[in-house]
Amino acid sequence: MSKYAQNKTSWGTSYGELVWQEFSKSWLSKICLSFIVFLFTLAIFAPFLANDKPFVIRIDGQLHFPIFRNLQPNDYCIFLAAIAGCLQLLLIKRNRRRIDPSIRAAVLWRQICINSSIVLIGIILLLIFVPRRLDARDYKALVASDKATDAVFAPIPYGYGRTNLKLREQPPNRQHWLGTDDVGTDVLCRLIHGSRISLSVGFVAVGISTIIGVMVGAVLGYFGGKVDFVGMRIVEIMMAIPAFFLIITIVAFFPRSLLNIMIIIGITSWTVDARFIRAEFFKLRKQDFVQAAVSLGLPLRSILFRHMLPNGIAPVLVNATFGIAGAIFIEAALSFLGFGVAPPTPSWGQMLSLGVSTTGRFLWWLSIFPGLAIFLTVLAYNLVGEALRDAIDPKLRIQ
Amino acid sequence: MSTYIVRRLLLMIPTLLGITVMVFAISRIAPGDPVSLSMGPGGQMDAERAADVREARMRLYGLDKPVHVQYGIWLRRVAQLDFGDSIKHHRPVIELIKERLPITLTLNIIAFVIIYAVSLPLGVLTAVRHRRFFDRASSVVLFMLWSLPVMWVGQMLIGYFCGPAFKQWFPPAGLNSNYADQLPFFPWLVDRLWHLVLPVLCLTYAGFAYLTKLVRAGMLDNLRSDYVRTARAKGLSNWAVIFKHAFRNSIIPVITIMATLLPAMLGGSVIIERIFSIPGMGWLAFEAVTTRDYNVVMAVATIGGVLNLLGLLFGDIAYAIVDPRISFESAV
């Protein structure tokens, strides 16, 4: 304990800690962050929260565990990524106590690289080796006809793919808390499963656009001259096309899948990051520490990404937070227009588009709840981004 | 100044070429084509005849040639300002755009005027009341408006104000009621405006946040500066200090952003035009994309690109005209 306290005082606070302190001063940003964490929890544990299969069931005197048996490869992928994420957070906490601040960023960078490559390899292995399962057995009917006993169902005992035309377009009632949609699927269940699409689109699309933007911006800003001139023309081309038009063109022309949507949002929104980083690198290029790195003969990769990037990354991270909100909105808009992932995969935008039925009836529960989900998620990300922007702004910190 | 403008205009040419090459490549590389889309799965025809018809139509639209040749032909036609015929409507694309562009422009310009009329005073007021209750409350409200998904708002407005669910105040779709052409001018105008209320509402609410923030930031910067302190020290009234000194200087970025916002809004109304069934540019673009109407897609992309680039150029010129500290020689 005493050692810990001693170290704390002698090491001072790093830039990241300073930003975090500033960020967590506001209760609003804390609420938004907790809401995002809550959403992630919902998305990760979706099959355990809303599922038409029971956790445990006794059929002919034998115990079965249908939910666990029916986890799909993508469920395992999500669990793996979640575990890795939690591990990383624990590591960051441990680094604060154990690692000297001067090398902390480098250690963190290495940890993230190792961690994410393990996750990537794991996901590929899981997708190859874990079989997709299909269990069409109607466990509720088994329980109703006394063929099975001791069944423990999920809190929302409906599946997102199960249709029941007898129960179509029902307003909220005691069985279906948020009503049912046009094919009789429970809306709450679809909302919970739909959070997976929105959150993953936000993350992956922004990941892609940030990586492209940082790479391009770094090269343009560092080299300048002709490289910069040609590169900026390409950036200009990307900026001059109306973005949403470009996105719906590509989405409409290429096969529909979640991965395609992520990639398309990613490759159409990197220009802002590229311009940020380029401007930052223009300024940094002339500074002494960069000149020193160059004269030491360090490789270009090291100069660009080890020495220069950490000084220009903060505005990019803020922009990424807004970018996640934007990507979630674009995915919802695409699904709303009918360009999203194919049903029965649930997506908030697609559910919202069912709010006006084919006969022209206004189904308020299919409008309000998915729309509210999109709104709250986008708002939470935007507010976090706003708080982060204020937190990294040194002008505000002095006051 | 003229050399700068010529230089910028010349730089626009490669950018514009790049845009067309990109959109052309995307549309032609993607699997599928308009002919097979419009012919469907074949129907009653036997396979051989279907293949013949298909080939004949491909030849008719010039889709049988290699992609780069197609692009060359397209480019030569566009240089003569001929965008070709729409495959779906069997009419010249230019005619379609002439019909649709005024509708979208009306919608956007009304929205634009409202956004400016609300945001300018609001921005000044929030800056004057910096960190007081009004400032904080309005920034939270504007932020929430900014985050509201437009398809949700549109659908809720139609659901609750255009149907039997709550109140039937507004028409749910279109630009005019049936047989509106037979009305005299004034009632026709009222009918048109009545149809525009909800779409314009959807177009405006998100814009308030951005512009208000811009005005507020500029005002705050200026209110803290020395010349404002001098003006106050001279004993000028609060009103004169705010509007004659600070406001005039902080309006510079607001003017320049006008030129860049308008073209951006032209492309961004796809969702709103879909929800309210308004036959504008967004609807045209959407239709073209879903039916693979190549000529229309290319025309919309090109015209959108030209408007965007011109907007950027006008923005920069306006910036230099309004702010004498900026000269064209340094701003290249």
Least confident of A93-97, A317-321, B219-223, B259-263: B259-263
Q: Average pLDDT of chain A? A: 87
With pLDDT > 70 as the criterion, what percentage of chain B qualifies? Answer: 94
Range with the lowest mean pLDDT among A208-212, A380-384, B57-61?
B57-61
pLDDT of residue A11: 57
Cβ distance of B149 and A383 shorter than 8 Å: no
A·B CB contacts under 8 A:
127
User: Residue A105 is encoded by which pair of tokens?
Assistant: 């960023």
* Average pLDDT of the segment spanning B175-202: 86
Q: How far is CA A289 from CA A285, A293, A300, in A?
A: 9, 6, 14
Shortest distance between the Cα of B49 and any Cα of chain A, in A, equals 27
Rounded mean pLDDT, A88-95: 90
Closest CA of chain A from B19, distance in Å: 6
B151 touches chain A (CB under 8 A): yes
Q: What percent of chain A has pLDDT over 90?
A: 40
Asked if B311 and B262 touch (Cβ cutoff 8 Å), the reply is yes
B309 close contact with A: CB closer than 8 A = yes
Between residues 184 and 243 of chain A, which touch chain B (CB distance below 8 Å)?
233-234, 236-237, 239-243
Q: Which residues of B touch A255 (CB under 8 A)?
A: 31
Which of B152, B156, B295, B306 to mutate to test binding with chain A, by most A CBs within 10 Å of its CB? B152
- Quick one: residue B235, left, alpha or beta (phi over 0 = left, psi -120 to 50 = alpha)? left
Structure tokens at B83: 């965008």
- Interval A388-392 mean pLDDT: 87
pLDDT of residue B268: 58
A5 pLDDT more than 80 = no
CB contact under 8 A, B149 and A325: no
CB contact under 8 A, A245 and B267: yes
| Nearest CB to A240; choose among B270, B297, B308 | B308
pLDDT in tens, A98-139: 887 777 777 888 898 899 999 999 999 998 888 888 887 888
B1 with B256: CB under 8 angstroms? no
**pLDDT > 80? residue A9:** no
Contact A126, A76 (CB under 8 A): yes
pTM: 0.89
d(CA A396, CA B69): 58
CB–CB contact B301 A241 (8 Å): yes
In this prediction the ipTM stands at 0.88
Cα separation, A342 vs A332, in Å, equals 13
Point out which residues pair with A180 in neighbouring strands.
Answer: A186
**Is the pLDDT reported for residue A4 higher than 60?**
no
Q: What is the mean pLDDT of residues A232-256?
A: 86
Is there a contact between B286 and A337 if contact means CB atoms under 8 Å apart? yes
H or E stretch covering B297: helix B294-322
Which residues 5-34 of chain A have a CB within 8 Å of chain B?
A: none
- pLDDT confidence bin for A167, thresholds 50/70/90: confident
Query: What pLDDT score does B35 carry?
Result: 78
Selection from A367-376, B89-98, B266-275 with the highest mean pLDDT: A367-376
* Cβ within 8 Å, pair A332-B266: no
pLDDT of residue A399: 45
Q: In the predicted model, is pLDDT for residue B240 greater than 70?
A: yes
Contacts of B31 in chain A (CB under 8 A): 254-255
- Rounded mean pLDDT of A162-184? 85
Mutate to test the interface with B, among A244, A245, A350 (most CBs of B within 10 A): A245
Q: Output the CA angle A332-A336-A338, nearest 5 degrees.
A: 120
Determine, for residues A253 and B301 on separate chains, whether the beta-carbon distance falls below 8 Å.
no
**Helices within chain A (DSSP H only):** 2-11, 15-23, 27-44, 46-49, 66-69, 73-98, 101-129, 139-144, 187-223, 225-240, 243-253, 258-268, 271-285, 288-295, 300-301, 309-337, 348-353, 364-392, 394-398
B42 touches chain A (CB under 8 A): no
The shortest CB-CB distance from A242 to any of B22, B155, B267 is to B267
Strands A62-64 and A54-59: antiparallel
The band of B141, judged by pLDDT with boundaries at 50, 70 and 90, is very high
pLDDT confidence bin for A382, thresholds 50/70/90: very high
Helices (H) and strands (E) in chain B, counts: 16, 0
Chain A partners within 8 Å of B152 (Cβ): 352, 367, 370-372, 374-375
Whether B165 sits inside 8 A of A240 (CB atoms) is no
- What is the C-alpha separation between B259 and A240, in angstroms, rounded? 13
Lowest-confidence range among A110-114, B114-118, B276-280, B322-326? B322-326
**Alpha-carbon gap, residue B147 to A326, rounded angstroms:** 9
**What is the spatial distance between Cα B285 and Cα B106, in angstroms, rounded to a whole number?**
17
CA quadruple B152, B153, B159, B163: dihedral, nearest 10 = -150
Among candidates B31, B152, B264 on the partner chain, residue whose Cβ is nearest the Cβ of A374? B152
Chain A closest-CA separation from residue B184 CA (Å): 31
**Mean pLDDT throughout B109-133?**
91
Q: Which residues contact A361 (CB under 8 A, 6 or more apart)?
A: A169
* The pLDDT of residue A64 is above 60: yes
Number of neighbours of residue A239 by Cβ within 10 angstroms: 19
Shortest distance between the Cα of B236 and any Cα of chain A, in A, equals 28
Does the beta-carbon distance from A356 to B159 stay under 8 Å? yes
pLDDT computed for residue B332 by the predictor: 43
3-state secondary structure of A63: strand
Q: Is the pLDDT of residue B94 over 50?
A: yes
- The phi-psi region of residue B43 (left if phi > 0; otherwise alpha if psi is between -120 and 50; otherwise beta) is left
| CA-based nearest residue in chain A for residue B33 | A253
Mean pLDDT of B191-199: 90
Return the pLDDT at A8: 47
* DSSP one-letter code for A149: E
Measured between beta carbons, the chain A residues lying within 8 angstroms of B23 are 241, 246, 249
Mean per-residue pLDDT for B252-263? 76
B285: closest CA of chain A, how far (Å)? 8
Any CB–CB contact under 8 A between B171 and chain A? no
Q: Would the CB atoms of B159 and A333 count as touching at under 8 Å?
A: no
- Cβ pair B303, B97 in contact under 8 A: yes
- The label of the residue with tokens 């961004």 reads B268
Residue A2 pLDDT level (bands cut at 50, 70, 90): very low
- The alpha carbon of residue B58 is apart from the nearest alpha carbon of chain A, in Å, by 18
Element containing residue B300 per DSSP (H, E): helix B294-322
Sheet with A148-153, side-by-side order of all strands? A62-64, A54-59, A148-153
Nearest CB to A242; choose among B18, B30, B308:
B308
Please return the burial class of B269, using the count of CB atoms within 10 Å of its CB with bins 0-12, 13-18 and 19+: buried
Phi-psi region at A280: left, alpha or beta (left = phi > 0; alpha = psi -120 to 50): alpha
Tens-digit pLDDT profile for residues A285-342: 888 999 999 999 999 888 888 888 888 888 898 999 999 999 999 999 999 998 888 8
Q: Is A50 helix (H, G, I), strand (E, B) or coil?
A: strand
Residue A114: per-residue pLDDT: 93
Instruction: Give the residues across from A152 on adjacent strands.
Output: A56
Sign of the torsion formed by the C-alpha atoms of A122, A127, A129 and A131:
positive
Amino acid at A398: I
* Per-residue model confidence as pLDDT tens digits over B24-72: 988 888 777 777 777 766 566 677 777 788 788 888 877 888 888 889 9
Give the phi and the psi of residue B237 in degrees, each rounded to 5: -70, 155
pLDDT of residue A380: 95
- Under the banding of pLDDT at 50, 70 and 90, the label for residue A6 is very low
To 5 degrees, how large is the angle CA A168–CA A171–CA A172?
120
Amino acid B41: pLDDT: 60
Q: What does the pLDDT look like over B294-314, one tens digit per residue? A: 889 999 888 888 888 888 888
Average pLDDT rounded to a whole number, residues B261-272: 74
